[in-house]
Amino acid sequence: MTTPLPPPGAPLEHYVSTKPFDPRSIERLSAAQERVYLASQWRLMWWKFKRHRVAVASGIFLAVLYVSILFCEFLAPYHYQTRHIDHIYAPPQTIHLFHEGQFIGPFVYGTKYSLNMETLKREYSIDPTAVQPIRFFCRGDPYKFWGLFESDIHLFCPAREGTLFLLGTDRLGRDVLSRIIYGARVSLTIGLLGVAISFLLGLIFGGLAG
Looking at the whole model, is its pTM more than 0.85? Answer: no
pLDDT digits (tens, 9 = 90+) for 7-39: 777 776 666 667 777 666 666 667 777 788 888
Adjacent-strand bridge partners of 124:
113
Domain that holds residue 137: 72-190
Residue 67 lies in a domain: no
Q: With 0-12 CB in 10 A as exposed, 13-18 as middle and 19+ as buried, what is 197? A: exposed
Residue 25 lies in a domain: no
pLDDT tier at 105 (50, 70, 90 boundaries)?
Answer: very high
Residue 110 lies in a domain: yes
pLDDT digits (tens, 9 = 90+) for 109-128: 999 988 888 888 889 999 99
Number of domains forming the structure of the chain: 1
The answer to whether the beta carbons of residues 77 and 140 sit under 8 Å apart is: yes
Residue 200 lies in a domain: no
